[in-house]
Amino acid sequence: MRFPSDYNECAREVLHAVNCGINYFDTAFVYPGSEDTLGKILSHAGCREQVKIATKLPHYLARSVSDCERYFKTELKRLRTDYIDNYLIHMLPDINVFKQLQKAGILKWLEEKKASGAIGKIGFSYHGNTASFIELIDAYDWDFCQIQYNYLDETSQAGVEGLKYADSKGIPVIIMEPLRGGLLTDKLPAGAKEIFAEAQFRCREASPAEWGLRWLWDQPEVSCVLSGMNSMNMLEENLRIAKEAEAGDLTEENMAVIDEVKKAIRSASRIPCTGCRYCMPCPYGVDIPGVFRCYNSSYIDGYLKGLKTYIMVTSMGDKRANAGLCVRCGRCREHCPQSIDIPNEMKSVRMRLENPAYKISRSVMKFIMTHKKKAR
C-alpha cells in the first residue's frame, strides 16, 4: 500500500527484505498498483516460493460468487501466481454482512478454493468495535484474522480484548496500522515527541517507531506485524527491531513512557472518550465510541483519514451507526465515566463529518449493499 513510486527502488527494497528473512507480504485488490508491482518483483526474481502472499477479496464490490471469481482471477494475474497463501475478506464490518456472504455462497466458494489449493488460508481484516469482532471470530472456523492495533488503539477497534480473545481460540492475529499510518512517528504532537526524546530504551535513544513496534512485539498474542515501509532506512530499522524484540521485553518504566505519550496524544483530542463502551449499546444504533474515535482522528490523523474511517465504521455494515441517528435521549450520558455530554458532542460530529462527501459515500454503500442483496 505504501510502496515507493520508483519501481527499481521498490524492487531493491522488497528483495532486500526477502533476503533478510521477511516472508509475509500483504496487499489488496483495491491498493492501486500494489498487487501488480509485488507480482512483477517476485516473478522476475524467481522468489515466489520463499514468501507468503496475503491479498483480499473486495466483497463490497461483489454481487455474486461469479464476481468473486472474476476478482480472484484478476488478482492471480496481477500477482503472477496460481495460488494465494493467505486470502482475506477485506474490511468485514459485522456479523450481518458475514451472514449475507454466507447466504450468497461466498464462504462455500472460499472453502472450495482452499480445498483445491488456490487459497492456503482464509481470514478477514477488520476495522470495527470489539463486540462485533468477537461475534465474527465465533461465527466461523477462521485460519487467521487481521486487525488495526497499536498503543493508541488498545481499547478501540478490536483492541487488546479482541486480540486476546482470538488468540484464546487459537487464531493467529496479524497486525495492521502498527504506527497508525505514521501518526505514531513523525506526526506525533510536540509534547509526545519530547517524552520519547527524553526517555531511554536500554540506555540509548530509540525512535518513536521503535517504541511503537516494540510495544506490539512485547505481546505474545501478536503473530505478525505489517509495517508499510517505503525507504531502505525504514526497512533496516524494522528488521533490527523485529530481530531484537521478544515478548515480555518491556519494563514497567518503558510502559510508563508509552502511557505518558498516550496522554500527550489524547490531550490533542477534542473528545476525551477512552473507548470503555459503558455508554453502549445505544438504543438507536449509534456506535458511540467508534464515532468519537473517527471524530478525534479527523483532528489527529488529518481530516480525510478521519472521514474515510468514519465512512467505514458507520456505513460499511448492514446497519448504519452514524451520529445522525442520535435523538438526544441522554441514556448514554448517564453511564459515561468521563462525564462527556454525548448528545451535544454528537452534534459536533455531525457538523464536521456528515458533510456532502459523507452522504454521497453512504448512498453509494447503501446502493451497493441493496443490489448485492437483490442479486443473492
Residue 97 — very low, low, confident or very high, per pLDDT cuts 50/70/90? Answer: very high
| Residue 149, phi then psi, degrees to nearest 5 | -155, 130
The average pLDDT across 54-68 equals 94
What's the pLDDT tens digit per position in 207-237? 999 999 999 999 999 999 999 888 999 999 9
Instruction: Evaluate whether 120 touches 86 at the Cβ level (below 8 Å).
Output: yes
Cβ contacts of 4 within 8 Å, gap of 6 or more: 10, 13, 230, 231
Sketch out the chain's domains with CATH numbers.
7-260 (3.20.20.100), 288-375 (no CATH)
pLDDT for residue 138 is more than 70: yes
Where is 311: in which H helix or E strand? helix 303-315
DSSP readout, 288-308? Answer: HHHHHHHHHHHHHT-HHHHHH
Residue matched to cell numbers 486470502:
87
Cell numbers for 37, please give them.
508491482
Q: Nearest CA to 46 among 3, 83, 80?
A: 80
The average pLDDT across 73-89 equals 98
pLDDT for residue 373 is more than 60: no
What's the pLDDT tens digit per position in 175-199? 999 998 888 998 888 889 999 999 9
257 or 315: which leads in pLDDT: 257
User: Average model confidence (pLDDT) for the chain?
Assistant: 92
Q: What percent of the chain has pLDDT over 90?
A: 70
Residue 119 — very low, low, confident or very high, per pLDDT cuts 50/70/90? Answer: very high
Residue 129 — very low, low, confident or very high, per pLDDT cuts 50/70/90? Answer: confident
Please give the pLDDT value at position 33. 93
Instruction: Evaluate whether 118 touches 85 at the Cβ level (below 8 Å).
Output: no
Residue 144, classed as helix, strand or coil, is strand
pLDDT for residue 1 is more than 90: no
pLDDT for residue 338 is more than 80: no
pLDDT for residue 376 is more than 60: no
What one-letter code names the amino acid at 178?
A: P
Point out the least confidently predicted range of 120-134, 153-167, 325-339: 325-339
Please give the pLDDT value at position 372. 57
- Rounded to two decimals, the pTM is 0.81
Please give the pLDDT value at position 364. 75
C-alpha span between 260 and 71 (Å, rounded): 45
Angle between helices 252-266 and 190-198 (to 10 degrees): 170
pLDDT for residue 144 is more than 80: yes
18 or 368: which leads in pLDDT: 18
269 or 185: which leads in pLDDT: 185
Residue 122 — very low, low, confident or very high, per pLDDT cuts 50/70/90? Answer: very high
Instruction: Evaluate whether 22 touches 38 at the Cβ level (below 8 Å).
Output: no
